[in-house]
Amino acid sequence: MTAKLFVCTTCRAGEPVTEGQPVAGARLYAALAAAPTPENVTIVPVECLSACSNGCAVALSAPDCWSYVYGRLSADDAADILAGSVAYAATADGLVPWRERPQIFRKQSLARIPPMER
């Protein structure tokens, strides 16, 4: 199964905007895009995940799976985000066993949404 990893590229993460400098969300997206892309994970930039007070944010979704949104992330978390996305893509329902989730996914969940077909 292929999972989509949506990355909010417009998030300021509470920082002031400096002209000519990428915002925090753009830096997170760049870090994810620069890493080797895992099989079965497609990274998709989006303009807002409406999690502005808990940015940076990413969302994971896949057909027939629970979707998840994580927040308070930064470019430093790119490797863990990708590892967690690979584990997610390996499931049939989006439910990764707790101990197999990266710590940022255990601690920084903003929300999850049941599968559409539920």
* Distance set, CA 87 to CA 2, 23, 41, 75, 92 (Å): 11, 28, 10, 19, 11
85 binds a copy of itself (CB under 8 A): no
Measured between alpha carbons, how far is 85 from 56 in angstroms, rounded to an integer?
Answer: 16
Quick note: the x/- pattern for a copy of itself over 16-55, rule CB under 8 A, is ----------------------------x-x-xxxx--x-
Written as one letter, the residue type at 32 is L
Q: Name the site residues for a copy of itself (rule: CB under 8 A).
A: 4, 6, 44, 46, 48-51, 54, 57, 59, 61, 63, 67-69, 71, 109-114, 116, 118
